Chain A
Amino acid sequence: MQSDVFLKPINIKNMLQAAAPVGLVALAQLHVLLVRGLDVSVGALMSVTVVTASYLMASGSPAGIVMLGVLACVGIGVVVGLINGWLVRFAHINAVITTIAMLSVLQGIALIVRPTPGGAISSDFMKFLQVKIGFVPVSAFVLIAAVLIGDWWLHRTRSGLEVKAIGFREEAARRNGVRVNRVQVRSYILASATAAVAGLFLAAEVGVGHPTIGQNFALNSIAAAVLGGAALSGGRGSFGGALFGAFFFTLMVNVISILGLSSSVGVIASGLMTLLAIFLYSGFAEFDRVIRRLLGRRSRSAPVAAKG
């Protein structure tokens, strides 16, 4: 099957533009995955950011107000991350439950503020985030810069090493003098702040305050990060990988729409891709064991021991 649109600059531009929110939210998710956490609230936070943008940067606002609006959105992200991190680390609530609770609260707020989609977002702001150099949107450069800085930080600095150490073995990290709580809470804050920036790019893409626009980003962010090699058990992963995972997802959606398949195919494909990703990275050993057992050969390791 051949397509005469796929490699056209316009399609590549659209694809790169669509990759910005997914890519950024995948980087956000990686921050918490690295410390063995999980954040399901990133999608709802993006919705809140879009809704906030539709009020604070309504169309026609001067540049100064738009700047303040951007700061406010990132500020919301920081506060949300702080609450998440505090609940997980100091109230000792399971990360999944904490972020599900946060998802509920944020989704509720987004729907209270904007029960139905509405409110145009400043077109200057949208143009600014969609500036192109040639046919490459500037968001692509932002993503690449974020990935380069992120991976340098993770693999070349002491604080990045601390993050990985906590992900691998928290107790060992603590005994080596890493301030575990501080690093953990920081990871949640970084994740939510990055997700808020992802929300801003999403706002530039949709242009109106849509209260449930971020719904599917939680699954996509986890899937992209895992496809990019991040381990759910913490300590392993790279920002470059997460971006590749996100780009893969965008590509998949793009191809499905170019082939003219219905949106249900896209939803099914993203679900299957996620299952495949976690299966390849964390289920394969178990699968092997199950197959061996079915074939009647006794496996040497006890099932429970293999769980660790």
Chain B
Amino acid sequence: MQDQTRKPEVNMSANRSMTAGRPGTSGKGGGFGLQLRFAAIWIALGVLLLACAVFLPRSVAPGTLMSIIPFAAFLTIAAMGQAIVIMGRGIDLSVPAIVALTCSVLVGVSRGSDDRLLLAVAAALGVALAVGLINGALIAVLKLNALIVTLAVGAVTTGVNLWYRQGLPAEAKVPPALADLGSARLWGIPSSVWLAVVILVVITVLLRKTVIGRRFEAVGANPRAAYATGVEIMRYQAGAYVLAALLYGLMALLLAGFIRNPTQDVGVPYLLAPIAAAVLAGTAINGGIGSMVAVAGAALFLVQLDQSLKMFGLPTSNQLVLQGIAIAAGMYLSEWSSRRS
């Protein structure tokens, strides 16, 4: 993000967080402060569920929870992508555009038939990856401002989607097999939740236990130091956007299977909510620090909050206001805790 174009001296905060108990520097598990940072959102989720149970028992009834949990899974997957980008010192505002275009390509290529499902899935994910690659190349290789690049690439992607949609029948549906998968359950738990859990585990292992993951965290925490130790920082910075785009694409496929006939506004809620979830999960904008488990907690928190607002009879747009406040407050707390330690 902006830091990329800025002078080294204003990047001191990065060095601070480097010495402030990152898992990479203080051995296994990280310091107590770091654990608290990621545990905070689960505590907040517990408090929220407790408050809901007391004041609005309907909102924590098993039926209600089961109906919202797919949305928490979608948000978790998208927010993991956003969190990875933020860990690499970026931001991604092209999420709604990628989600919408992925859905359109899926619907357009498959033409609603199961025979072409695999081809359609490959094409849809390919398009998502291509957009991510463009983001990554412009930001990591040309060192352009992440916010502006992703906004602009998002605009181009939206335009391409509008154009592509003109050639599609208005009531185009996803193939039945994908729709079945979207509503399928295994041991009573929706398929989207299983997929979210699998992705979560894979990315957590990737970040915490592999060389690639550790190097990625190092690049996010302090790109200059990482460069000095011989890490190809560009690859990791660009890779973050590509991996994130893959996650948005996967989420879009699940979402398309869930709602069956995705419109072109299908991605709109995913502009701000993933950022809110990533920030609430304690992901540091100075880079390098982030936990996918905490991201899942934050996604559950936001979805449950949304649900309880609805059940209180408040307009859903309140969610946007709360998300905004959550982004600012979460960021403030995260800054404050980095500065203190």
Contacts and interface: CB of A to CB of B under 8 A. Distances in A.
Contact of B321 (A105, A216, A287): A105
B335 A91 contact: yes
Interface of B: 1-2, 4-10, 91, 138, 141-145, 147-149, 151-163, 166, 223-224, 227-228, 233-234, 272, 275-276, 279, 285, 315, 317-325, 327-328, 331-332, 335, 339
Contacts of A170: 10
A40 B147 contact: yes
A271 interface: yes
A112 B323 CA distance: 14
B162 A219 contact: no
A112 B2 CA distance: 32
Contacts of B157: 271
A282 B317 contact: no
Given A100-B275, A271-B159, A275-B138, A93 B144 contact: no
B156 A100 contact: no
B81 to A, nearest CB: 16
Interface in A270-308: 270-272, 274-275, 278-279, 282-283, 286-287, 290, 302-304, 307-308
Interface string A100-112: 1111111111011
A267 B324 contact: no
A38 B91 CA distance: 13
Contacts of B223: 304
Given A268-B160, A272-B156, A304-B223, A96 B147 contact: yes
Given A111-B317, A307-B5, 19 more contacts: A38-B145, A94-B2, A97-B328, A101-B325, A103-B272, A105-B320, A111-B320, A218-B151, A263-B162, A265-B159, A272-B156, A274-B148, A275-B138, A275-B149, A282-B143, A283-B142, A283-B144, A303-B234, A307-B4
Contacts of A282: 5, 143-145
Interface residues of A, number: 61
Given A93-B328, A278-B145, A38 B2 contact: yes
A233 B152 contact: no
Contacts of B323: 104, 108
B135 to A, nearest CB: 11
| Shortest Cβ-Cβ A-B pairs, 9 listed | A108-B320, A104-B324, A271-B155, A268-B159, A105-B324, A267-B159, A271-B156, A108-B321, A111-B317
Given A287-B142, A304-B227, A104 B320 contact: yes
Contacts of B285: 94, 97
Contacts of A270: 155
A169 to B, nearest CB: 8
Interface in A110-139: 111-112, 115
Contact of A290 (B142, B162, B272): B142
A38 B275 CA distance: 17
Contacts of B10: 170
Contacts of B227: 302-304
Contacts of A262: 162-163, 166
A3 interface: no
B335 A92 contact: yes
Given A96-B2, A218-B151, A271-B155, A104 B321 contact: yes
B340 to A, nearest CB: 12
